[in-house]
Structure 1
Amino acid sequence: MVNMLDNTIGKAQKTHDQSLKTFLAFATASAAILGLGFIAYIFLKLRFPEY
């Protein structure tokens, strides 16, 4: 199991030259979009509770 994890960790960096900085930027942007969607859902649910 550990051997399999060792083989897959860093695979994106090796094959696509993706740095940690790039990955963190992508993850942050994804989290922000998810958060905005969640806030919009809560707002709409409070504004129109009958739906």
Structure 2
Amino acid sequence: MSVQPSNFTNDHEYMIDYAQSGLRPNELYRLYYVLYNNGMLLHKGHGDVRYSN
């Protein structure tokens, strides 16, 4: 899945449409992310996410 920033300030927010991606509500998922800007690695990591509808 590839997402784009929702704003272009120094702080970025990334929006994920969980329902459209096929993830089930109330399930715990591990999200891995790698952020690049113009080919330069900015940040990588992971976190646990859960959403409810």
Q: Which structure has greater strand proportion?
A: 2
TM-score range relative to shorter protein: under 0.3
Give the structure with higher Rg (CA).
Answer: 1
TM-score normalised per structure 2:
0.19
